[in-house]
Amino acid sequence: MSEHPSVRHLIDGDWTGSQAERDSTDPATGKKIGTYFDGDAGTADAAIGAAARCFAESPWRHDAMLRATALGRLADAFEARLGDLVESLGRENGKLAGEAGYEVHFIPRALRFAAGLALLNQGRIADTKPGVQSLSLRQPIGVAGVIVPWNSPAYLSIRAIAPALAAGCTVAVKMPAQAAQTGAIVAEIFAAAADLPRGAVNVFTESGDAGARRLVESPLVPVISFTGSTRTGRLIARAAADRLKRVSLELGGKTPHLVFADADLAAVVPTIVASTTVFAGQFCMTGSRILVQEEIAGELIEAVAQRLEAVRPGPAADPASEIGPMIDLAAVARVDAAVEDAIAGGARAIVRGGPSTLPHLEGGAFYHPTLLEVDGTSGPIVQEETFGPVQTVQRFATEEEAVELANATEYGLSACVWTRDSDRPLRVARALDAGLISVNSWANLAVEFEEGGFKSSGLGRLGGVASLDDFLEYKQISQAYA
């Protein structure tokens, strides 16, 4: 057996390879940690075909109790492997243990919630006029194409797969190459599930986009669930529109912290810092914008700056690490270029981080956090998702100005409101253009509630009861009776 057994694709219940074999690397060291077979359009076709056959021939779509039982047992199976997933995310994604643990703890919870959804009554019946009875049914739409991002691959794959399976769909899942080893664990758990029919879940890994494009283009795939950048989401939506294909898109964000003068700074400061250091800012809800009321601006900026300067970078294996690596050196260069452009455009560096120069981190994709003060909202550093540990800070005078600044980007995924005023949170939350508002906290996620974005942050919702909507069709049946 080779030192690094290669990750294969799970298609129709079997493990298959492909022509290209590539290396998986640890972003903290740049060293090889494994290999994987790289999928392509042909791999996607095989996954789609297996899912389509299973949907047509197995009892899966017709048997809600079968689906509920399978999802409940899958929750148990994933729970037994959470330690393996945490270890893999640390080595392959650079996530610190707490970050990886936070990601994977959602998985069993999401699967158990989906098990309940599988049994949820989805129909209604009524006499629409004398002698005519109408029945409204909701039935699974067919094969769901799931395109998973690299930044939280374990949970975000399940977040889409679970409601699709609960609805009675089968799935073809494209895992990112940066998470090939983690994706292999996810696929292993599905492969071992005795309650799943062959071909219900098919998983392939791909470094390019030919397979993902095939998912979007295939007439056998009526719905696509994608999490990733707004740019890619627009391309998917455009291609899907030509085929009148349903899409669920969770896209980019520029989460603002609205910090009012009466906020509890002892709680605000560490949370603001955590909101940019968690997974090195590579999170769609990273708290990339700080909006602070003028009365406390100096105090807050100084406190945040001191904490950011003291943040200790390091690998997941080091318990003293406070910020892990970015996904690769190309990401480090991209983020640093954005910071340089912002400074050249007038932003003031309160904390100028940048690529690590620490000898013991040589070869790793580490980036020290950066804090920039800006005056307006027109610059790219405010308007575009940086996807790294970079925050901007702006001052405001009134509540109305704070809301105006917060809404001044094309994004609307999440926002945070910090205040001791009991009336302000609901008033401000109603005015903000964002799908998730966290009050005196950040990114308060719950699988039982819908998650998604306004404006260019996406279409549709995952989580909650509405997560079934994208995977179900309505059908009306009317019958005359004597």
* pLDDT tens track for 261-306: 999 999 999 999 999 999 999 999 999 999 999 999 999 999 999 9
Q: How far is CA 37 from the centre of its chain?
A: 24
Reading the block at residue 273, the tokens are 């810092």
Q: Locate tokens 């050196």: which residue?
A: 329
β-strands 390-396, 289-293: how paired? parallel
How many C-beta atoms lie closer than 10 Å to residue 53's C-beta?
A: 17
Catalytic residue numbers read: 250, 284
For CATH 3.40.309.10, the residue range(s) in the chain are: 256-446
> Does the reported pTM lie above 0.75?
yes
Apex 88 CA angle, 162 and 193, nearest 5:
40
CATH class of domain segment(s) 6-251+457-480? alpha beta
Tens digit of each residue's pLDDT (9 = 90 or more) over 22-79: 999 999 999 999 999 999 999 999 999 999 999 999 999 999 999 999 999 999 999 9
How many C-beta atoms lie closer than 10 Å to residue 431's C-beta?
A: 14
pLDDT of residue 482: 79
Reading the block at residue 187, the tokens are 């696929």
Phi, psi of 109 (to 5 degrees): -60, -45
Phi, psi of 406 (to 5 degrees): -60, -35
Give the CATH H-level superfamily of domain 256-446. Answer: Aldehyde Dehydrogenase; Chain A, domain 2 (3.40.309.10)
pLDDT of residue 1: 32
Ranges of beta strands (E only) in 265-347 are 289-293
Tell me how far apart the alpha carbons of residues 382 and 378 are, in angstroms, rounded to a whole number: 7
For CATH 3.40.605.10, the residue range(s) in the chain are: 6-251+457-480
Long-range pairs for 152-155 at CB < 8 Å and ≥24 separation? 152/103, 152/279, 152/283, 153/89, 153/93, 153/178, 153/179, 153/182, 153/183, 153/186, 154/85, 154/89, 154/103, 154/104, 154/107, 154/179, 154/182, 154/185, 154/186, 155/103, 155/104, 155/106, 155/107, 155/110
pLDDT of residue 5: 63
Q: How far is CA 294 from the centre of its chain?
A: 34
pLDDT of residue 63: 97
Q: Which of 305, 297, 298 is nearest to 396 (CA)?
A: 297
pLDDT of residue 2: 39
Average pLDDT per consecutive 10 residues, the chain (482 residues; last block may be shorter): 70 94 96 96 98 98 97 98 98 96 98 96 85 93 98 97 98 97 97 96 97 97 97 96 95 98 98 98 97 98 98 95 97 98 98 94 96 96 98 98 98 98 97 98 95 96 94 94 84
pLDDT of residue 18: 86
pLDDT of residue 55: 98
437 CB-near residues (< 8 Å, 6+ apart) = 414, 415, 416, 417, 425, 429
